Structure 1
Amino acid sequence: MKEPGSISSDMMVDEIMRKWPATVAVVLRYRMLCVGCPIGTFHTVAEACRAHQVDEDLFIPDLESAVRGQG
């Protein structure tokens, strides 16, 4: 079971950025165009990573670090 505040690949990108605003900086750092994108409300983390050719195994821990205030 994932701990509270943890991010999974099946979560919606928009939901993550709204719930944890610090993650917006991570999304921008990876040069993903999700910020303000209307598709962000429908794209999961996994789908966004595939669309932007981002390594999900690196991206999710960076998002989680931002949530914890370490990123």
Structure 2
Amino acid sequence: MRQTHLRAGMTLEEIMEHWPDTVAVMLRHHMLCVGCPITAFHSVSDACQEHGIDEKAFTRELELAITEG
């Protein structure tokens, strides 16, 4: 069974690999995570803090991309 929700502690790399539609969310926010070697280590929380993005809103967008993708 395919995972359909984010789990705490997932790296951005895991998220983008599991759900390619989430890449569009990151690009919409002008995040440089796509193709960055740090994605193997950064969580959503880390990336949001680094880019000054509201984590709750961003997570909702990711979840929406996952469920609609």
The answer, yes or no, to whether TM exceeds 0.5 is: yes
User: How many residues in Structure 1 have an aligned counterpart in Structure 2?
Assistant: 67
1:9 offset after TM fit, Å?
A: 4.9
1:10 offset after TM fit, Å?
A: 2.2
Percent identity, aligned pairs only?
48
CA distance in structure 2 between the partners assigned to 1:39 and 1:48 by the alignment: 10
Change (3 A) 1:39 1:11: same
Higher helix share: 2
CA distance in structure 1 between the partners assigned to 2:66 and 2:24 by the alignment: 11
Runs of 4+ that moved beyond 2 A: none
User: 1:27–1:35: 8 Å Cα contact kept in structure 2?
Assistant: yes
Name structure 2 gaps, 5 residues minimum.
Answer: none
Number of the residue aligned with 1:30: 29
Give me the CA root mean square deviation.
Answer: 1.3
**Structure 1 length normalisation: TM-score?**
0.86
Number of the residue aligned with 1:7: 6
Number of the residue aligned with 2:50: 51
User: 1:12–1:42: 8 Å Cα contact kept in structure 2?
Assistant: yes
Change (3 A) 1:31 1:8: farther
Change (3 A) 1:30 1:55: same
Number of the residue aligned with 1:39: 38
